[in-house]
Amino acid sequence: MTLAEILAGLFPDGHDVVVTDGLILGTGRRTGGGLVHVLGIAEGTPLGIDGALALAGLVLAIARSGDGAPILMLIDSASQRMSRRDELLGLNEYLAHLAKALMLAEAEGHPTLGLLYGRSAAGAFIATALATAHLVALPGAHPEVMDLPSMARVTKLSLDVLTEKARATPVFAPGLDNLVQTGAIHTVWDPEKSLAEQLEAHFCAPPGPGDRRDRLGAERGGRPRAAVIAERVATHVTERA
């Protein structure tokens, strides 16, 4: 589905969303009433310091507004911008700032939802889609925290070894099905059904408070140990307190 088709499906009552320099900006009208703040990345744009700062500024303005309207992040991006300028100016800090802004907005009463409809990878994926409270996707989306060739360079393991591990362990593997199995993506929406109804159903009955991705990963067999370890750490901290 194209971005125009997705927006028309999400907001049959109208929207004013535009794409400027690869960034998605605007609002959409919910079928149940009220507005949704719509932000994100389009056209496979890599996320650099300028885009991250612009998005973070908009998220913080929404958090300050106090209108309680949800934030929908639509994502079709490359990875973070691989340029000397962005790296020297501290791109990692800009990406972290954007992720923290989204978490702040959620804490200030603006439910955040990521919708992955294209590609996304690495820092851009972490600072946008994974920084929302819940992440859904459309069929055909292709997320990857790190592709296998990059992982091979970092870990010094051969590509053959990592490819074999990816077949058996979703944590090592890119792609939609694997990210669903690890719990990073809560659900895959059905494009044959009304996107507006699926959006409204999410905001009317969200999956629940708190970050449940580790528990989803355990239930789906993609991350069998993360939830157990997190619970043990939380229990230990509570006992020490």
Q: Decide if 28 is inside a domain.
A: yes
Note the pTM of the prediction, 2 decimals.
0.87
pLDDT of residue 18: 95
Q: Decide if 26 is inside a domain.
A: yes
Q: Decide if 55 is inside a domain.
A: yes
Q: Is the pLDDT of residue 97 over 90?
A: yes
pLDDT of residue 189: 95
What is the mean pLDDT of the segment spanning 153-182?
82
Q: Decide if 99 is inside a domain.
A: yes
Range of the domain at 41: 3-138+189-209
pLDDT of residue 209: 67
Q: Decide if 27 is inside a domain.
A: yes
Label residue 1 by pLDDT band (50, 70, 90): confident
In the predicted model, what is the mean pLDDT of the chain? 88
What is the mean pLDDT of the segment spanning 187-210?
87
Q: Decide if 150 is inside a domain.
A: no
pLDDT of residue 241: 67
Q: Decide if 203 is inside a domain.
A: yes
Number of domains in the chain: 1
Q: What is the CATH number of the domain that holds 113?
A: 3.90.226.10
pLDDT of residue 109: 92
Secondary structure, 3-state, the chain: CCHHHHHHHHCCCCECCEEECCEEEEEEECCCCCEEEEEEEEEEEEECHHHHHHHHHHHHHHHHHCCCCCEEEEEEEEEECCCHHHHHCCHHHHHHHHHHHHHHHHHCCCCEEEEECCEEEHHHHHHCCCCCCEEEECCCCEEECCCHHHHHHHHCCCHHHHHHHHHHCHHHCCCHHHHHHCCCCCEECCCCCCHHHHHHHHHHCCCCCCCCHHHHHHHHCCCCCHHHHHHHHHHHHHHHC
- What percentage of the chain reaches a pLDDT higher than 90? 51
- What percentage of the chain reaches a pLDDT higher than 70? 98
Q: Decide if 222 is inside a domain.
A: no
